[in-house]
Structure 1
Amino acid sequence: MLAVSGLVAAFGVFGAPAASAQGCANPSGTYTGEVPWGQRQVDPARLWPLTRGSGQLVAVIGTGVDAQNTQFGPGQLDSGAGTERTDCDGRGTIAAGIVGAQPDPSTTFTGVAPGVRLLPIRYTTGDGDGGDPGELAAAIDRAVDRRAGVILVAVPAAADSPALSGAVSRARSRGAVVVSAASATQQGARTYPTATSGVLAVGSVNPAGAPVQTEAGDYVGIAAPGAELVSTSAGAGGAVAHRWPLTDPGLAAAYVAGVAALVRAYHPELSGDQVVTRLTLTAHRPPSGGHDPRLGWGVLDAYAAVSSTLPADIAPPGAVPSAASAPAVVPAEAAAARPRDIAAGTIAVAGVALAAAAGVAVAAVRRARRRGWRPSRFTP
């Protein structure tokens, strides 16, 4: 559950979002401070010359998404059967903003992949630690039917079920990347489908790089920012509005889902499982150099995940016998120039060449006139 740092005493370590008189989440205001550390850590703007995630549909499964927050662009939130464009609890709106909120001059906060479309699906109203696993399974199936390439479980369930594991299997068979946060805060507890095979389970870190969540296991694949965050708020009422500072290990999965969408847009030939391999293989390794039960294979490196040149069928981390046999991951040195920049550069170079040629021609004509148009003599 969400917590605001200044209200820990009122709500506990991971309490409910601040509520209005009607019992729903309220914004903190419009965020105008320095770029939030989570955005600086992931640094999505460095990738936008390569891709902004256009053409990707990201399902945000949880408590719905408030369509009245205008940092979601016109038409960015899908509608239709099974979608929910309101959000009393607030967690769905916060997660959706981390994935794809549009740049806006009124704020320094932007989403990771502002070119994506968002599919808001509610399976729980937010009461307790998570909803019914059967309802969550049905929500995943709806996302698959709508052809979502990335499925973010913004609010995992506290229990598993055959229906839920079956829905994950169907999603993977259709090529979707299923991302879910390791958000349990009680010792030994697990969340689902986070602990389900084939799901990219996400741990969370604070600005110091320390794990935030208690949940741990060999199924945790990667970590991302999950404390002292900023994102879009429900209850905006037609404005650009935010909640901060937010500490919720569940929000780390939203960063990973946004980067997964960038990878899918830039590498459309990759399967869902290959996208997961790329994300985990390029992560910043934990201090141990190997797998950590709370940090997985390390902290998300968005630039390396998108820009590195890797074979599509490369083995995931842990599949090779030693670090010495693991492949070298080398990100691109700089973002590629956009086509219009390449065209402009070509025109500029051509202009310089033409100007130089014209200068040579004028000089030759002047010399010929001085000679009375007689051919010059070669003097060895």
Structure 2
Amino acid sequence: MGAPVRAAAAALVAVVLAMIVDVPSAQAAGCATSKQVYQDAPSWAQKLVDPSRIWLLTKGTGQTVAIVGAGVDGGNPQFGAGQVLASNDLVPRPGGVADCDGRGTFAAGIIGAQPNDQTTFVGMAPGVKLLPLRYTAGAGDTNPGDPGRLATAITQAVHAGAGTILVDVPTTVDSPALDDAVSAALAAGSVIVSPAVGAQAGVVSYPTALPGVLSVGAADQNGAAVQTESGDYIDIAAPGADLVSTSAGGYGHSWPIKDPAAAAAYVAATAALLRSYQPTATPAQIVNRLTLTASRAAGGGRDSRLGWGIVDAYAAVTSQLPLSTPGPDASPAAASVPNLVPAAAPARPPLNTLVGGLALGGVGLAALAGLITVTIRRGRARGWKVRL
């Protein structure tokens, strides 16, 4: 395709994108929507996780990530056809829109947005399927943290085959039903990822604080914690400020966003990539690998708001680390976790290298053929006979 044709195609796509505003999400008053397409340089968070290095190994294909919260708008152009799965809502949709709150679509983009020539933004695991499970309408819901509905949503995610369950909107209230749902999901082999989003000291998020859940704190680009919530249950951290991702409303992107909940999306995407690459790993083994490979701060110990450090997706997927390795808090020597050397992802040989190799191979074969010809002629002249 020539440059004029590509330019015309890009212009046409831009015009079509500019027209995609007449949808229920964009029309709903008070809903989080955007009419802008992000075209700046890749954000610091995207540079940090750098998912393209992992894509030669896996893009998360075959994995389903459930997003439990306030819904996902699958109409955004960066989601592939059929990538966002249909699901039953546990609460009515305000105004009939798929995601008025906006957080679910933002998280879904971090996880699985497809590459697109119109933007530098792309999701970490574009091969995954996304399963929205709405248990709250978000900010407008009178009871946004109902643990019973959250428990039901987690159970539905397991029954739908979600290997990774992201609780995008956690609750601040625990219940026996929620505890049982989490335990059953872990026993069924699902990894549950939940953020610490408490804005006030002493506030605890659930299921974030429950045993077995991969609990996520948030950090800015300087490595400082974003959220107020702290506790020894926080396992790992990820970018949570100055973020960019897909917007609800069937269009564009939102940025710069500061949201501790978004950090969990990066961790959920990494878990999905790891599950795709090592499908026999148990939830406990995946949590263990993610915490062991995290980028630690000075001292290497566990931080009450950032856990064992910032997620390192490339190291988590590629490091030569037995899945049975004890976790970072398995002994008093937790702070001295051995240095891990990531295995290099297989790279495609450059075209000139491949051609050069073929050329050298051809020269070698020609020389060998010449040597054989000379040898046969001399042998015949001397009366050699071949014995079988």
Q: TM-score range by the shorter chain?
A: 0.7 to 0.9
Question: How many angstroms does 1:286 deviate by?
Answer: 2.5
Question: How many angstroms does 1:135 deviate by?
Answer: 0.8
RMSD, matched Cα: 2.9
What is residue 267 of structure 2 aligned with on the other side? Answer: 256
What is residue 188 of structure 2 aligned with on the other side? Answer: 174
**Residue 37 of structure 1 pairs with residue 44 of structure 2:** yes
Q: 1:104 aligns with which of 110, 116, 139?
A: 116
Question: How many angstroms does 1:249 deviate by?
Answer: 0.5
Which deviations, in whole Å up to 9, do the C-alpha atoms of 1:29-62 show, x marking residues without a partner? 1000000111111111111111100011100011
Is the 2:37–2:253 Cα contact (8 Å) retained in structure 1?
Answer: yes
Which deviations, in whole Å up to 9, do the C-alpha atoms of 1:245-285 show, x marking residues without a partner? 00001100000000000111111121111001000011011
What is residue 285 of structure 1 aligned with on the other side? Answer: 296
* 2-structure distance, mates of 1:80, 1:121: 6
Q: Counterpart of 2:126 in structure 1: which amino acid?
A: P
Q: Counterpart of 1:180 in structure 2: which amino acid?
A: S
Is the 1:286–1:295 Cα contact (8 Å) retained in structure 2?
Answer: no
What is residue 82 of structure 2 aligned with on the other side? Answer: 75
Aligned pairs (5 A) from 1:153-232: 153-232=167-246
* 2-structure distance, mates of 1:243, 1:324: 38
* 2-structure distance, mates of 1:368, 1:304: 56
Is the 1:184–1:214 Cα contact (8 Å) retained in structure 2?
Answer: yes
What is residue 361 of structure 1 aligned with on the other side? Answer: 369
Which deviations, in whole Å up to 9, do the C-alpha atoms of 1:207-244 show, x marking residues without a partner? 111000000000000000000100000012xx4x1000
Q: Residue 165 and residue 364 in structure 1: after superposition, are their counterparts in 2 closer, same or farther (change >3 A)?
A: closer
Structure 2: stretches of 5+ with no match in the other structure: 1-24, 383-388
What is residue 330 of structure 1 aligned with on the other side? Answer: 341
Q: Counterpart of 1:164 in structure 2: which amino acid?
A: L
Comparing 283-292 and 221-230, the one that deviates more:
283-292
Question: How many angstroms does 1:324 deviate by?
Answer: 7.9
* 2-structure distance, mates of 1:20, 1:103: 27
Q: 2:106 aligns with which of 94, 99, 102?
A: 94
**Residue 306 of structure 1 pairs with residue 320 of structure 2:** no
Q: 2:165 aligns with which of 151, 156, 166?
A: 151
Question: How many angstroms does 1:358 deviate by?
Answer: 1.7
Comparing 41-50 and 120-129, the one that deviates more:
120-129
What is residue 271 of structure 1 aligned with on the other side? Answer: 282
* 2-structure distance, mates of 1:75, 1:43: 25
Question: How many angstroms does 1:81 deviate by?
Answer: 4.0
Q: 2:30 aligns with which of 23, 48, 52?
A: 23
Q: Counterpart of 1:23 in structure 2: which amino acid?
A: G
Q: 1:141 aligns with which of 134, 152, 155?
A: 155
Structure 1: stretches of 5+ with no match in the other structure: 1-17, 376-380
Question: How many angstroms does 1:23 deviate by?
Answer: 1.9
Q: Residue 21 and residue 86 in structure 1: after superposition, are their counterparts in 2 closer, same or farther (change >3 A)?
A: closer
SS at match of 1:220: coil
* 2-structure distance, mates of 1:20, 1:253: 29
* 2-structure distance, mates of 1:91, 1:326: 35
Q: Counterpart of 2:59 in structure 1: which amino acid?
A: R
Is the 2:198–2:205 Cα contact (8 Å) retained in structure 1?
Answer: yes
Report the number of matched residues: 351
Question: How many angstroms does 1:350 deviate by?
Answer: 6.1
Q: Counterpart of 1:120 in structure 2: which amino acid?
A: P
Q: 1:246 aligns with which of 247, 257, 261?
A: 257
* 1-structure distance, mates of 2:321, 2:243: 32
Q: Counterpart of 1:357 in structure 2: which amino acid?
A: L
Question: How many angstroms does 1:347 deviate by?
Answer: 9.5
Is the 1:320–1:326 Cα contact (8 Å) retained in structure 2?
Answer: no
SS at match of 2:173: coil
* 1-structure distance, mates of 2:30, 2:312: 38
Scaled by the length of structure 1, what TM-score is found? 0.85
More helix by share: 2
Q: Residue 365 and residue 312 in structure 1: after superposition, are their counterparts in 2 closer, same or farther (change >3 A)?
A: closer
**Residue 321 of structure 1 pairs with residue 332 of structure 2:** yes
What is residue 53 of structure 1 aligned with on the other side? Answer: 60
Same amino acid, percent of matched pairs: 53
Question: How many angstroms does 1:309 deviate by?
Answer: 1.1
What is residue 71 of structure 2 aligned with on the other side? Answer: 64
Q: Counterpart of 1:260 in structure 2: which amino acid?
A: A
Question: How many angstroms does 1:354 deviate by?
Answer: 4.0
Is the 2:203–2:229 Cα contact (8 Å) retained in structure 1?
Answer: yes
Scaled by the length of structure 2, what TM-score is found? 0.83
Which deviations, in whole Å up to 9, do the C-alpha atoms of 1:321-353 show, x marking residues without a partner? 314874442211x21246xx69x9899856643
* 1-structure distance, mates of 2:323, 2:117: 38
Is the 1:20–1:26 Cα contact (8 Å) retained in structure 2?
Answer: no
* 2-structure distance, mates of 1:206, 1:36: 12
Question: How many angstroms does 1:374 deviate by?
Answer: 4.9
SS at match of 2:332: coil
Comparing 74-83 and 219-228, the one that deviates more:
74-83
Question: How many angstroms does 1:125 deviate by?
Answer: 0.5
